[in-house]
């Protein structure tokens, strides 16, 4: 049986992989789609349902195995538009909004080099997440993350492209004399920062 392993892939990739896999099997044949992500699993189930592939799922040790049957050739709209199934679910009655605050150019305390490595890993991972913050605020040494030609600035630019507001503390940029080096984000003042923090339900301090 053909097996499509989508573990570690982010939407819409699992949907496209599943669709392409189905194209390669014969009508009536079974195929398995493997997922390790709740959101991807839900999106895959809706998509495969609409394709008429009769998905049946099983979950074991956090891994979903979805068994599908290749339907008769159909003109389902889902076939041509898997991206439309990339919904990010909102928890019932809840608000997912959150703000990330970088208080320094490192993550945690203990070793500065390790802290620098971790925060670079964090922002490069964050940009691949389904659930993005509404704002990223950088102050004090955190503004150094926005310096041009760094991988953190590149990640922040990608987050901006995904409608995340990146606020860089103007006082801090001035203090470090880094205005010419800032490559991403909006230079912001403490009123904007205070307002953003006051208006959000959840703040994640790095």
Comparison of 77 and 128: residue with beta carbon closer to another protein? 128
DSSP symbols for 15-84: HHHHHHHHHTS-TT-EEEEEE--HHHHHHHHHHHHHHT---EEEEETTEEEEEEEPPSP---HHHH-GGG
- Contact letters for another protein, residues 131-170 (x by CB under 8 A): ------------------x-x--xx---------------
Comparison of 102 and 169: residue with beta carbon closer to another protein? 102
Instruction: Give the range of 9-17, 49-57, 71-79, 87-95 binding another protein by CB under 8 A.
Output: 9-17
Residue 39 is a binding residue for another protein (CB under 8 A): no
Residue 9 is a binding residue for another protein (CB under 8 A): yes
Could you tell me the strand order of the sheet in which 203-205 lies?
Answer: 186-188, 165-169, 135-138, 99-102, 203-205
Residues in 63-122 that interact with another protein by CB under 8 A: 113-114, 117-118, 120-121
Residue 192 is a binding residue for another protein (CB under 8 A): no
Residues 83 and 86: their CA atoms lie apart, in Å, by 6
């Amino acid at each position: 049986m053909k097996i499509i392993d989508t573990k570690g892939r982010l939407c819409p990739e699992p949907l496209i992989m599943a669709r392409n896999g189905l194209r390669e099997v014969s009508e009536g044949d079974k195929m398995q789609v493997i997922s390790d992500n709740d959101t991807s699993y839900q999106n895959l189930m809706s998509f495969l349902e609409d394709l008429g592939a009769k998905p049946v799922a099983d979950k074991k040790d956090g891994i979903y195995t979805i068994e599908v049957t290749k339907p008769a050739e159909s003109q389902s709209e889902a076939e041509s538009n898997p991206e439309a199934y990339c919904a990010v679910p909102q928890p019932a009655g809840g608000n997912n909004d959150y703000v990330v605050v970088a208080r320094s150019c490192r993550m945690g305390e203990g070793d500065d080099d390790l802290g620098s490595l971790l925060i670079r890993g964090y922002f490069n991972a964050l940009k691949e997440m389904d659930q993005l913050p509404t704002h990223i605020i950088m102050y004090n040494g955190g503004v150094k993350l926005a310096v041009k030609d760094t991988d953190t600035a590149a990640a922040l630019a990608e987050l901006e492209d995904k409608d995340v507001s990146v606020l860089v503390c103007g006082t801090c940029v001035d203090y470090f004399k880094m205005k010419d080096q800032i490559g991403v984000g909006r230079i912001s003042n403490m009123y904007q920062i205070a307002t953003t923090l006051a208006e959000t339900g959840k703040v994640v301090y790095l």
